[in-house]
Amino acid sequence: MDRLRDGEPGLPADFTLARDPWELFSAWMAEAEAAEPADPNAMQLATVDADGLPDVRTVLLKGADEGGLVFYTNLGSAKGEQLARNPQAAVVFYWKSLGRQVRARGPVSPVTAEEADAYFASRRRESRLGAIASRQSRPLADRPTLIAAVDALSEKYGDGPIPRPETWSGFRLAPVQMEFWQNGEFRLHDRVRFTRESEGWGRARLYP
């Protein structure tokens, strides 16, 4: 396995020779944003419940840098409670139009209150009201009950500010591994896996 140090620049034509997984991820995300018809930032998030049973759902990536991958949720949701008990997760991005996939896994930590406040304030008013009204993952009698709760909150806050509820925040997944996959003819796909080391990243090309 190659051992690479942080800060070594360069993104070669053959992505399996890339030296910086974050630079590669940024380039692939930019291409996905130009090619995917909807939600290029959608990623499947896998967690584990109290019985060790895996759980997976789609969430939206809302920030990405060398600190990690950021997403937001109701802390009382199934994923919020699972991450509170076991703060580790895995994610996968799949861009069908490009024939590409990125996987990442590692420890998860809460974002700061300031980060959560800033993102919550940037959301559409209707989305903020919905986030407050929803008791995510809990049983719901019927849809009119949810709509009535949103309407009541809309009347309560009027045109004024809508505060972020304490039960709504975000998480940052700090990858210890990132794997990049590109579709190839006859299932001869290209794969490269980066593994976090004490000084930078280790890199290994993988069989398809």
CATH classification at residue 30: 2.30.110.10
Report yes or no on 53 lying in a domain: yes
Q: How many domains does the chain have?
A: 1
Report yes or no on 153 lying in a domain: no
Binding site annotation covers 137? yes
Residue 68: domain span: 2-124+166-206
Tell me, what's the pLDDT at 10? 55
Report yes or no on 189 lying in a domain: yes
Binding site annotation covers 17? no
Burial of 51 (0-12, 13-18, 19+ CB in 10 A): exposed
Report yes or no on 146 lying in a domain: no
Could you say which of 187, 196, 203, 205 is catalytic?
187
Tell me, what's the pLDDT at 1? 46
The model's pTM is: 0.89
Binding site annotation covers 146? no
Report yes or no on 73 lying in a domain: yes
187 among known catalytic residues: yes
C-alpha distances (whole Å) from 105 to each of 69, 76, 150, 162, 173 are 10, 22, 35, 34, 7
Tell me, what's the pLDDT at 48? 97
Q: DSSP E strands: which ranges in the chain? A: 2-4, 42-48, 54-60, 63-65, 68-74, 88-95, 100-110, 168-173, 177-182, 190-197, 200-206
Per-residue pLDDT of the chain (208 residues; tens, 9 = 90+): 444 444 445 577 899 999 999 999 999 999 999 999 899 999 999 999 999 999 999 999 999 999 999 999 999 999 999 999 999 999 999 999 999 999 999 999 999 999 999 999 999 999 999 999 998 888 999 999 999 999 999 999 999 999 999 999 999 999 999 999 999 989 999 999 999 998 899 999 999 9
Binding site annotation covers 191? yes
